[in-house]
Chains A and B, each alone.
Chain A
Amino acid sequence: MTNHLAILQVVLPLIAAPLCSLINQAKACWLFATTISWLVFAISLSLFIEVQTGGSIRYEIGGWQPPWGIEYHIDALAAFVLLLVSAMAAITLSAFQRRITIEIPKHKQGLFYTAFLLCLTGLLGIVATGDAFNIFVFLEISSLSAYALIALGEDRRALTASFEYLIMGTIGATFILIGIGLLYMQTGTLNIVDLQTRIPAISHLHSVHAAFAFFTIGIFLKLALFPLHHWLPGAYAYAPSAVSTFLAATATKVALYLLYRVFYTIFGSEFSFEVLQLHYILMPLSILAIVISSLNAIFQQDVRKMLAYSSLGQIGYMTLGIALFSDAGLVASILHLFNHAFIKGALFMTLACFLFRTPSLRLDDLNGAGRAMPWVGFAFVVGGLGLIGVPLTSGFISKWLLVSAVIEQGHWWLVAIIVFSSLLALIYVWRVVEHLFFREASAALVANKQPIGALLPFTWVVLLSTLYFGINSDFPVQAAKAAAKALQ
């Protein structure tokens, strides 16, 4: 049994998804999907432990030997990201039941859980598989279900946001497919480990360079790296709150995983960075992402949009770590991927808590909400501090490592930019805090005593975990180091 965990991880939610649509009864579906998600989490946890102790796992599907058969390959990085994705899925499903009941029409709820499980399947599959074409398949599974999930948003703008994401996402996925095709044409293999060994011999070919370019653009699109980010803020802002929480914490992180996998494992860091000098594109784009998105976040009236722009800036930090092209930079990048996922997830959860009593998440509707709902307001403050990177939050640890990596290379101007953008983060977070605590709450808000239910404790669990990892950072730092080592 245990040696099949690698495949069960992906197959379990995949089989559960259609079952969910057969059950098609809101409460039962929720219970079923939540149980599945916790099972998946348990599996990924045991995979993680196994990888940490026994090294990476290779699983041959149907007993067919690679490179002919499809292989699942879970190394330290994959195990780390799997853990993150499955944890966020389990938390989201457990915490959001009441919000889903409110936000999504009853007859669509069964389908909602189906799409959610499919999206989870796709994200897990991208990470777990060791086969390039499989990556594309799972990418499409996760994307298509994500479009559907976003379109379920109450706001009618959710439809256009979803449509925009669909167009951009499809272009991205197609580019990635073309990249895979070109590599297959030249090497005759789709197995990632096999590709890795074959590419150096043919790396001078133009078609390999073209494949590299297609991969780059395709992944940047899925990653929402500046300037290919335009689909993201709308998608996060208008989706149902459960969806924006889950996607904000995982979708771009998996795209980032894809970036590591393609550029470090498939092409190899030497080819990607020394021959084709990817960092010369990645560095300016990261800096633009950090600065412009943070500036953009300051001027948003809708807090969810603000957080979305902040996410774009944080993605910039992660790609910046890669662009430094050093071990320390890579570790910082992977660590920030992990830390930021939980911080941003927790912040979106707090916003969902507010939604129980406020009419919307526009700043003016949040006036005094922190006073009326102190536990939620305080949660936002703690999450916001993590976003800024204040000591004792996990955001500080990843920023510390990132800035150390930057100083190690002597880029003092980059230090100035990181500091500057941290101050921008301070401004956009504090703007919300002032609305939450220093404005008079409307009478309707004060009178509204609607219970928040399980969402609030779950939000605090996630927040406390970010605080814990900020104080005792051993676990994520060691995991990130192991992951970075697996890539080299």
Chain B
Amino acid sequence: MILANSLYLNFAIPVIGACLIALLHQRRRTVELVFIGTAAVLLWNTLHLFDLGEAAYFINVSPFSLIDSIPLAFHLEPLGLLFSAIASSLFLVTTLYAIGYMNANNEKHLARFYFCFCIAIFAVMGIAFAANLLTLFIFYEILSFSTYPLVTHKGNEAARNGGRVYLGLLLSTSIGFFLIAILWVWSSTGELDFVRNGFLQEQMPKEALIILYTLFAFGVGKAGLMPFHRWLPSAMVAPTPVSALLHAVAVVKAGVFCVLKITVYVFGLDLLSEGSASNLIIWVATATMLLASLVALSQDNLKARLAYSTVSQLSYIVVGAALATASSVAGASMHMATHAVGKITLFFCAGAIYTAAKKTKVSELDGLAKVMPITFIAYTVAALSIIGLPPMAGSWSKWFLLDGALQAEYFWVAIAFIISTLLNMAYLLPVVARGFFAPAKDNLSGIQEAPWMCLLPLSITAISCFVLFFLLQELHHFLQPLFS
């Protein structure tokens, strides 16, 4: 009962928040308070779920059945808890940032914006706790639709076109591949529930497994595998808080989370590491990792560069999942957390630079660190974490991923990780170099740091990049039940 109530509460909180926002949309201050309050209560409740401990794992809670005998069902397990914790804690930080950013840039239709934000978080909770594939799919689609108004928030031509690519790609991959894969699993095994070590063993022929895994990996378009990655750069027309939370944390992490969850609980690590079902995806993801990094190098727009960097980093996680060793999956799960914290900081910084100096291009940033030191220091810390240098959190997840690749004897993947790390430096550090060391080209007087509502969140997340480094032991321990 406690389990069910706490779980349902995690769904109720964002929905209640959204309803309050819709009701009170006339009063701006109140709406902002409700928005922050929702995030805070949600985080509090999510952390409480951890207290239930291992005994509560894999117990299905179902409000009603959807089709025939397939229920809408939720459960707790380490991956989902981790994902929900990442999403809800960064959500709280982002609410502060969003309010600061939206007010400083005079954006309109704020109530609608916050409303959709809450619904998106609701969908994320559904994804995190889904106990079967159909439930997962349903919330996956809610997430696509609820973020569409956020992406197209500006309502102009560019927003419309961006939104078209965004929704078009996410929906066509999910209906065309993801749903079909689910139906295939359903019709050939009669099961959709996530279980420890998967349920596909000895259920399907080997060739079918290859196709099935490929369908899943491409079908989860939110994981951004090439050639279905274009939606992510397109989504950058959105206001920066959206890019920050949704396209560095919630949406993209929902994608890789789905891949991880399907890998671990549908296929099972043993099945994948013994067979070659995931070989093709290892190739594709490795290629995406390198190609996206190369594209990122060529982008002058800071947000676009970060977007391609995200595409590349997501593929780390997909590779980690597809390698299917204990280390690589642990590394992939940790990378969800460390990359989320790092990338959200980078996006916060990009937004702060835009708010304070109205600059969007890397080439315009010369000397800006002198007037915006906090922002640039935060950027540097986060960039180092994403590159994977100690003592930043990102170093651990890369370490485990590398270890996993070597254990699975995929040496070329390990080499690709190293090359990609070099590329990371090449596209992330120029911002630091220009900001701190290049002489300012134009007059920077009058530019100062962004409002504190923007600065505080990015400082918090930057510090987290550092703090997480020391907590990774606990995280690794927490993820152990995945492999037993």
Contact = CB atoms under 8 A, between A and B. Distances in A.
B164 interface: yes
Contacts, number: 62
A419 B180 contact: yes
B75 to A, nearest CB: 19
A107 to B, nearest CB: 46
A400 interface: yes
A423 B160 CA distance: 18
B65 A474 contact: yes
A422 B64 contact: no
Contacts of A67: none
A430 B167 contact: yes
A474 B184 CA distance: 23
Interface in A211-238: none
Given A407-B184, A422-B175, A426-B171, A392 B67 contact: no
A49 B159 CA distance: 51
B167 A390 contact: no
A423 B179 CA distance: 13
B187 A404 contact: yes
B338 interface: no
Contacts of B171: 423, 426
Contacts of B179: 403, 419
Given A391-B138, A404-B186, A404-B187, A419 B65 contact: no
Interface residues of A, number: 26
Contacts of B184: 407
Interface in B50-88: 64-68, 72
A11 interface: no
Interface in A452-471: 471
A426 B144 CA distance: 13
B437 to A, nearest CB: 43
A117 interface: no
B468 to A, nearest CB: 35
A426 B160 CA distance: 15
B172 interface: yes
A415 interface: yes
A403 B176 CA distance: 12
Nearest to A440: B155
Contact of B183 (A403, A430, A434): A403
A422 B142 CA distance: 17
A419 B187 contact: no
Contacts of B65: 472, 474
Contacts of B168: 426, 430
Interface string A259-282: 000000000000000000000000
B155 A438 contact: yes
Closest 5 pairs (CB-CB, A-B): A391-B138, A438-B160, A407-B187, A419-B176, A391-B141
Interface of A: 385, 389-392, 397, 400-401, 403-404, 407-408, 415, 419, 422-423, 426, 430, 434, 437-438, 471-474, 477
14 contacts: A390-B141, A392-B142, A397-B67, A408-B187, A415-B183, A419-B175, A419-B176, A419-B180, A426-B168, A426-B175, A430-B164, A472-B66, A474-B65, A477-B68
